[in-house]
Amino acid sequence: MKPVLILGARSDIARATAHAFAALGHPIQLAARGTDNLEADKIDIETRFNVAVTLHDFDATEIESHPTFVDGLPELPEIAVSAVGFMGEQEENERDVVAAAKVMRANFEGPALVLGVLADRMAARGTGTVVGISSVAGDRGRASNYIYGSAKAGFTAYLSGLRNHMAKRNIHVLTVLPGFVNTTMTEGLETPEALTAEPAEVGERIVNAVKKRRNIIYVRRVWWWVMTIIRNIPEAIFKKLSI
Amino acid sequence: MILSGWGNFPKHIARVRAPRLEAELKAAIADGQAIARGNGRSYGDSAVSISNTIHMRHFDHMLSFDDDKGVLVAEAGVLLSDVIDSFLPRGWFPMVTPGTRLITLGGAIASDVHGKNHHLDGSFRSCVRWIDLMAADGSITRCSRNENAELFGWTIGGMGLTGVILRCAIQLRPVQTAWMRQHTISTQNLDEAIAAFEANLDKPYSVAWIDCAAKGDKLGRSLVILANHAEPGEVPVHCRKNVLKAPKRKKRSFWFHFPGFVLNPITVRLFNAFYYFMGSQGSGHAVVDWDSYFYPLDTVHGWNKMYGKRGFMQFQCVLPLATSREGLTKLLQAISASGQASFLSVLKRFGPQDSPLSFPMAGYTLALDFPNTAKARALMPKLDAITLEHGGRFYLAKDSRLPADTLATADPRAADFAAWRAERGLTTQFASAQSERLKL
């Protein structure tokens, strides 16, 4: 079995995705900023699934380090998943351009560019899949989180372009749009049950979508309907709404 | 947030935190009145503290597994279903499992759950090697049969009231296949059901589904289901390539609460009659996958919503062997007289149990569920009284409404436990809505 790389490995979705691939027997490469407290996850995955796990120091916002990071991996992965992301506080992001830029970099620049490097190396090899976990928040900018949302919109557009570009080179690109997921990010928010996925569900959906070479998935299909409606509200009306 | 157990009753507005690091957990416990919560599958209010519920879902790492001995060391938030997913393919299965795999190891220990093999293998306690317990001051104590044995004893079945269970080592059972060979005996009444249990005490697993709507000479008619782990040669031919793997069952979900009227005494009675009829038609031998055998309800995600928003109550008692026949008869008569048939009623023969606080004892246990209606609530004290008259006791993992004096009468060990807790200052450090109600 070929290894699967998980970028931003500390998040709940990342961990669930690592579990879902490890359950199939894939060795796992966990990459995150600072690897010290990832040791428990390494042992956990090794114990649960009897696969090898390696830890890799990776900072998505340090763009210059991306090529060296990718080339320094013990083996170029067959599947690379970016679960990198950072929501920040919308109010703070509105006041503070530095905070806003951090959110934009962490959700767009960093994950997009590292997946670009990975796709490029995979294309040279001839096989591979890259998976970008973006967000439904990128489907339309809303007052409540447009800094995060616009960065995710950029990431979604990048993945779409990368998929188009790489289709001719046999590299598959999957865009994942989770709606609400029961994670640290949504802790304390009361989200509607039918619209809220568990991290394990996200992991399973990603594994299946990779297997079937799907292009874009909404983790809960109901989100496609929700976002189609939201996208189609005329701007003149939309700007007056608070959703 | 609004919090309840699996029965969706009673509901409390409770403060819930989900720490990720031991330091965060320590800080949370220090606030007092703490209770750890696993996957929320105990039915009542045992994993709810209004001021300080601590969700253990992030403490779900497996730490080591001994492939030769089958000993797993894991954090308390690991689910039994994860244990099965990881180790059944390697030939290991939980030694003791209740009727759901969606429980945490910490919850299994705190409730000292039992399974269909209790008569031979005892409760979950049998498979627990040691426990790491966090006290109110954040210190961690390892306890086992040899080390801090008293603490070990009270913690198993102690409903989380001795501290927060952090890690444990559990023994798994070697199995050859992921399949069960089951034998269903349909019995016409309670006497026949008891006779079937007594004649099959050597069978590894036994349980009965009981039609508690039946009356008169059919009172207590049951489907007694015996089982053992199947051998490779017994596995369905098309699954023999890997006998430790069974096809995944399709998942179904309840997305919304049924309106209250859907489950009423008439539909429940019809269901019971239908179920008995179908079961008696299918009497005999069958080989079924582990998931269908042990966890028939787990594939129906959120089945508790079947009872609607009002929620439901479980009643589970155990009666000593000597009084079982008479006590069960009276319980069943009281239920059928009330017209409050239970949707799922389970009868099981327990074996002996030797532990300070756990629920089981040698005898028969009856588990029933009722929608949370006024009539059902009125029936409960009657069932309590019959249980007391026959020297029985109650299962705290199912309880959501027992009065403190009833528990005290049924189970003198409760007072011992409360005294032991008070002596160590645990009463205010660790408390749940249930422990306050029951004065534990």
Q: Compute the CA torsion angle B78, B22, B153, B3 (nearest 10 deg).
A: -60
Does A44 sit within 8 Å of B63, measured CB to CB?
yes
Does A49 sit within 8 Å of B86, measured CB to CB?
yes
Q: Among partner residues B61, B85, B90, which is closest to A40 by beta-carbon distance?
A: B61
Quote the pTM value: 0.93
Domain ranges of chain B: 2-55+421-438, 62-174, 179-400
Is A243 contained in some domain? no
Give the DSSP letter of residue B283. Answer: -
pLDDT in tens, B179-215: 999 999 999 999 999 999 999 999 999 999 998 888 8
Hey, what are A28's tokens? 């796992």
Task: Mark out chain B residues that contact chain A at CB-CB < 8 A.
Answer: 1, 18, 20, 61-65, 72, 74, 82, 85-86, 90, 255
> Taking all residues of chain A, what is their mean pLDDT, rounded to a whole number?
94
Q: How far apart are CA B332 and CA B151, in angstroms?
A: 38
Phi, psi of B346 (to 5 degrees): -130, 135
CATH for B62-174 is 3.30.465.10
Q: Which residues contact B405 (CB under 8 A, 6 or more apart)?
A: none
Q: Do domains B62-174 and B179-400 have the same CATH topology?
A: no
Pick the range with the lowest mean pLDDT from A104-108, B307-311, B354-358, B373-377: B307-311
Going by CATH, does the domain composed of B179-400 fall within 3.40.50.720? Answer: no
Task: Mark out chain A residues that contact chain B at CB-CB < 8 A.
Answer: 23, 40-41, 43-44, 47-50, 184, 187, 190, 193-194
Residues in B touching A48 (Cβ below 8 Å): 62, 82, 85-86
pLDDT confidence of residue B282: 64
Does A190 sit within 8 Å of B63, measured CB to CB?
no
Residue B15 has, within 13 A of its CA and on its CB side, a CA count of 9
pLDDT confidence of residue B307: 85
pLDDT confidence of residue A178: 93
Q: How far apart are CA A191 and CA B136, in angstroms?
A: 32
> Taking all residues of chain B, what is their mean pLDDT, rounded to a whole number?
93
Q: How far apart are CA B312 and CA B49, in angstroms?
A: 20
CA distance B278 to chain A (A): 34
Does A44 sit within 8 Å of B86, measured CB to CB?
no
Measured CA to CA in angstroms, residue B148 lies from A36, B122, B141 at distances of 33, 21, 8
Q: Among partner residues A40, A41, A48, which is closest to B86 by beta-carbon distance?
A: A48
Nearest residue on chain A to B87, judged by CA atoms?
A48
Give the DSSP letter of residue B116. Answer: T
- Domain encompassing residue A70: 4-238
Q: How far apart are CA B354 and CA B122, in angstroms?
A: 9
Does A41 sit within 8 Å of B61, measured CB to CB?
yes
Q: Which CATH number covers residue A28?
A: 3.40.50.720
Residue A202 burial class via C-beta count within 10 angstroms: exposed 0-12, middle 13-18, buried 19 and up:
buried
Pick the range with the lowest mean pLDDT from A19-33, A79-93, A146-160, B61-75: A79-93
Q: Residue A211: how many CB atoms within 10 A of its CB? A: 10
Q: Residue A88 pLDDT more than 90?
A: no
Average pLDDT over residues B347-360: 95
Does B90 sit within 8 Å of A23, measured CB to CB?
no
Q: How far apart are CA A31 and CA B99, in angstroms?
A: 39
Residues in B touching A47 (Cβ below 8 Å): 62-65, 72, 74, 86
Q: Among partner residues B20, B90, B255, which is closest to A194 by beta-carbon distance?
A: B255
The total number of structural domains in chain A stands at 1
Q: Give this complex's ipTM.
A: 0.89
pLDDT confidence of residue B409: 97
Confidence of residue B255 (pLDDT cuts 50, 70, 90): low
Q: Which element (helix H / strand E) includes B3? A: strand B2-3
Average pLDDT over residues B126-141: 98
Does A43 sit within 8 Å of B64, measured CB to CB?
yes
Residues in B touching A41 (Cβ below 8 Å): 61
pLDDT in tens, B292-334: 999 988 878 888 888 888 999 999 999 999 999 999 999 999 9
Is A223 contained in some domain? yes
Alpha helices in A73-141, H assignment, sequence order = 90-95, 97-104, 110-125
pLDDT confidence of residue A48: 97
pLDDT in tens, B401-426: 999 999 999 999 999 999 999 999 99
Summarize chain A as % helix, strand, coil (round to 5). 55, 15, 30
Q: How far apart are CA A122 and CA B439, in angstroms?
A: 64
Residues in B touching A190 (Cβ below 8 Å): 1
Give the DSSP letter of residue B79. Answer: B
pLDDT in tens, B145-158: 999 999 999 999 99
Q: Are B78 and B60 in contact (CB under 8 A)?
A: yes
Q: Among partner residues A44, A50, A194, which is closest to B61 by beta-carbon distance?
A: A44
pLDDT in tens, B38-48: 999 999 999 99
pLDDT in tens, B213-244: 888 999 999 999 999 999 999 999 999 999 99
- Grouping H, G, I as helix, E, B as strand and the rest as coil, residue B195 is helix
pLDDT in tens, A13-50: 999 999 999 999 999 999 999 888 899 999 999 999 99
